[in-house]
Amino acid sequence: MPTARFTFPRGFLWGSATAAYQVEGQNTNNSWSRWEETPGKIIEGQRSGLASDWWSGRWKEDLQRALDSGQNAHRLSIEWSRIQPTADTWDDKALAKYVGMMRWMADHHMTPMVTLHHFTDPLWLVDRGGWESEEIPALFARFVRRVVEALKDYVSLWITINEPNVYIMGGWVEGGFPPGKHDLKLAAKVTVNLLRGHAAAYRVIHELQPEAQVGVATNYRSLVPAHSWSPLDKLPVKIQDQLFNRAFNNALVNGKLDLVFKKVNLPEVAKTQDFIGLNYYTRDIVSFDITHPAEMFGRRYFPKGALVSPTGFLANVPAGFWDGLRWAHKYGLPIIVTENGVEDDTDALRPRYLVEHLHQVWRAANFNWRVKGYFHWSLVDNFEWESGWTQRFGLWGLDINTQQRIRRKSVDVYESICKENAIDSEMVKELVPEIFDQLFPTG
């Protein structure tokens, strides 16, 4: 049996990721808590409830598990509605809880990456128009100032906005996220405000903490035409790729937002990103289909023969991750993989998915691309937005009735990689033997 190691760069960040609303529980004052109470919005009428019970303090045991299994970093978000429950009040006790989390990580030599907006908005903000309002960039900057002033002694890696492309698509195009609209004109307006909000936050962070590294986490979707020779298949790919993958980040480079159907000059947002945050999950094949106007006449489906997650939400296509890494590399900035994972309650696919995708990260690092870290989604099962508890992304499973954590085989796989800073052939042979010959060929 051949023995080999795919070694990652020294100082590589190994972590997992969570989001406040999905793990904290007891969140009752934001756009998603209101969404949960609206019939038909969450699958099977499920509720977040205690979620993973972090607000009561179970964050500490979960982070200890991560630490014990070799992780040296963690990505988490701050819930705006806890810090600023009304337009005119601030909750210093809530902010102190987050300070305690960051201090704990610092004391345990765990690097925190903090996300300042992860899909949720305070109800007072929603009732004032939310991200459709012209006042939102200044309001977001005020919130960011409050948080950064409190956490800057412990945090220097910041994500201003998580997946603005998903937030816009879900809330203003497809309608599965609050506010549940189908309005391209409003979607464009929200995009502009998110860009301005990010830029305002970027400047606040660097004013308070000049050494900080600030980025946006973008969900990159690999899109491939069904027939490479077909102009009809290529056209929806080009449009979808521009709208979903490129428009927001390109604007952060050159100050020009290109939404295909609308172009906006935003010079104030140019050069306001220090690294690229890359979220990748899957790839789609795209065929021209006149019956899909909302998707720019492009019908999407998974590659033939790809292994698919239990609910059919994701396909295991590591080559698509390579596309995402190459996309990120072209911006000429350091890259941090801020999310990557698969929903898999049986944990049958996740070990393979994890190793195959990390192999792509190693390839990129081996090309001397500046990949600085990897955060697996997610640390523990959590409330997956409109999919509720039907999708289980955690390295650790969760019994929502007892709050018991369940160690999955994927923990062993990831622990080996984190502690060795490498993908080791012996680990693959023992824990993921079905891909051994693929990763370590003898011929």
**What was the pLDDT predicted at 443?**
67
Task: Decide the pairing of beta strands 157-162 and 422-424.
Answer: unpaired
The Cα–Cα gap between 443 and 437 comes to 10
The reported pLDDT for the residue numbered 174 is 94
Q: 29 with 23: CB under 8 angstroms?
A: no
* Helix-strand-coil split of the chain, %, nearest 5: 45, 20, 35
pTM: 0.98
Q: Is the pLDDT of residue 368 over 80?
A: yes
pLDDT value of residue 2: 63
Q: What are phi and psi of 374, to 5 degrees?
A: -140, 125
**Predicted pLDDT at 1:** 56
At the topology level of CATH, where does 11-403 sit?
TIM Barrel (3.20.20)
- For 214, the token pair is 């600030």
Express each pLDDT in 198-219 by its tens digit: 999 999 999 999 999 999 999 9
pLDDT in tens, 34-47: 999 999 999 999 99
Residue-level pLDDT at 402: 98
Q: Domain boundaries in the chain?
A: 11-403
Tell whether the torsion through CA atoms of 284, 286, 291 and 294 is positive or negative.
positive
DSSP 89-157: B--HHHHHHHHHHHHHHHHTT-EEEEES-SS--BHHHHTTTGGGSTTHHHHHHHHHHHHHHHHTTT--E
Q: Which residues are catalytic?
A: 163, 339
d(CA 198, CA 200): 5
Integer Cα distance of 425 and 367 in angstroms:
21
Mean pLDDT value across residues 27-31: 97
Beta strands 13-17 and 73-77 are parallel
pLDDT band of residue 297 (cuts 50, 70, 90) is: confident
